[in-house]
């Protein structure tokens, strides 16, 4: 197998699986057999297994020894944990925002918001821009590298959010909130920026809570029980 890419097979498998789990293309409870995945992806079990272990550490997959691996349920506790973590980090970063902002970064954030406006009806595209925006906010204070930790911890939060947003009709409101945040930061009104950001993050979380009360079956406190084994065509 000579793929000219310097990205290892494991990296590709890991990123592919992770994306499919986060986008709910692989819904919670889906069986992830090493053999099936390996056959589907045209690789051996080794890189698949290593990827499942990593996803297991991230909490996106549960591996039951000698039984099977499954996409983890959306755990309400983990969602709340991630919410707490991201709020703590993003708000704390605002305390370290310098007096004069990096103009290039500000321009990038403004351009991002324009694209958000255009993509407000395209869930996946919007999510991608939303991620870049919040990462950019962290970079304003020089704490951009902390984003990766937040990303690794908020898988359950992202899935819960997608569960809710599948039923909404547009992310225009979020774009407005993003604008308020950025405007306050640029105006140097950090206190106002903090309030706007907190309100924004809380609004997102409230949407999730509403979804949970409407459709509790989508959520579950992960009690360690093995999901019913289903024959799901994991790959097309």
Partner DNA sequence: TCGACGCTGCTTACATACAAGACCTGCCAC
Partner DNA sequence: GTGGCAGGTCTTGTATGTAAGCAGCGTCGA
Instruction: Give the DSSP H/E element, type plus range, for residue 113.
Output: helix 103-118
Using the contact rule CB under 8 A, the part of the chain among 18-26, 180-188, 200-208, 218-226 near its own copies is 218-226
Smaller CB distance to DNA: residue 8 or 149?
Answer: 8
Which residues from 138-167 bind its own copies, rule CB under 8 A? 143, 145-146, 149, 152-153
Burial of 4-23, coded b for 16+ CB within 10 Å and e otherwise, reads eeeeebbebbbeebbebbbe
Query: 182 and 170 in contact (C-beta within 8 Å)?
Result: no
* CA pair distance 136, 169, nearest whole angstrom: 26
* CA pair distance 87, 76, nearest whole angstrom: 17
Q: Among residues 21, 26, 33, 205, which is the contact residue for DNA, using CB under 7 A?
A: 33
Q: Among residues 57, 124, 167, 189, which is the contact residue for its own copies, using CB under 8 A?
A: 57
Asked whether position 66 contacts DNA by CB under 7 A, the answer is yes
77 interface partner picked from its own copies, DNA, none, CB below 5 to 8 A per type: its own copies
Which residues from 22-51 bind its own copies, rule CB under 8 A? 49-50
- State the residue for tokens 């930061």: 185
- State the residue for tokens 């997959």: 61
Q: Among residues 103, 228, 230, 233, which is the contact residue for DNA, using CB under 7 A?
A: 228
Dihedral sign (CA 24, 228, 211, 206): negative
Q: Among residues 27, 68, 136, 172, which is the contact residue for DNA, using CB under 7 A?
A: 68
Q: Among residues 18, 62, 73, 178, which is the contact residue for its own copies, using CB under 8 A?
A: 62
Using the contact rule CB under 7 A, the part of the chain among 31-39, 110-118, 141-149, 176-184 near DNA is 31-39
* CA pair distance 140, 47, nearest whole angstrom: 37
Asked whether position 87 contacts its own copies by CB under 8 A, the answer is yes
Q: H helices then E strands: how many in the chain?
A: 10, 2
Q: Among residues 46, 148, 168, 215, which is the contact residue for DNA, using CB under 7 A?
A: 46
153 interface partner picked from its own copies, DNA, none, CB below 5 to 8 A per type: its own copies
Give the x-and-dash track for 69-108 against DNA (CB under 7 A). Answer: x---------------------------------------
Q: First vs last Cα of the chain: how many Å apart? A: 22
Alpha carbon dihedral 171, 148, 58, 113, in 10-degree steps, equals: 10
Residues forming contacts to DNA in the complex (CB under 7 A) are 1-2, 8-10, 32-36, 43-47, 49, 52-53, 63-69, 226, 228-229
């Amino acid at each position: 197998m000579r793929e000219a890419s310097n990205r290892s097979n494991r990296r590709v498998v890991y990123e592919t699986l992770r994306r499919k789990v986060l986008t709910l293309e692989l819904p919670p409870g889906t069986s992830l057999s090493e053999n099936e995945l390996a056959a589907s992806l045209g690789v051996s079990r080794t890189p698949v297994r290593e990827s499942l272990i990593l996803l297991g550490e991230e909490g996106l997959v549960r591996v039951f020894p000698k039984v099977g691996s499954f996409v983890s349920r959306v755990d309400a506790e983990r969602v709340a944990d991630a919410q707490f973590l991201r709020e703590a980090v993003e708000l704390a970063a605002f305390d370290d925002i310098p007096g004069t902002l990096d103009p290039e970064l500000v321009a990038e954030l403004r351009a991002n918001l324009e694209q958000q406006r255009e993509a407000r009806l395209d869930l996946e595209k919007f999510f991608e821009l939303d991620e870049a925006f919040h990462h950019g906010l962290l970079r304003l204070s020089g704490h951009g590298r902390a984003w990766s930790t937040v990303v690794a911890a908020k898988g359950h939060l992202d899935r819960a959010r997608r569960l809710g947003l599948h039923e909404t009709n547009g992310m225009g409101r979020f774009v407005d909130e993003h604008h308020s945040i950025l405007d306050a930061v640029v105006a140097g009104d950090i206190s106002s920026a903090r309030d706007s950001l907190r309100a924004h993050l809380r609004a997102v979380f409230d949407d999730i809570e509403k979804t949970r009360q409407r459709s509790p079956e989508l959520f579950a406190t992960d009690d360690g029980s093995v999901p019913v084994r289903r024959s799901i065509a994991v790959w097309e």
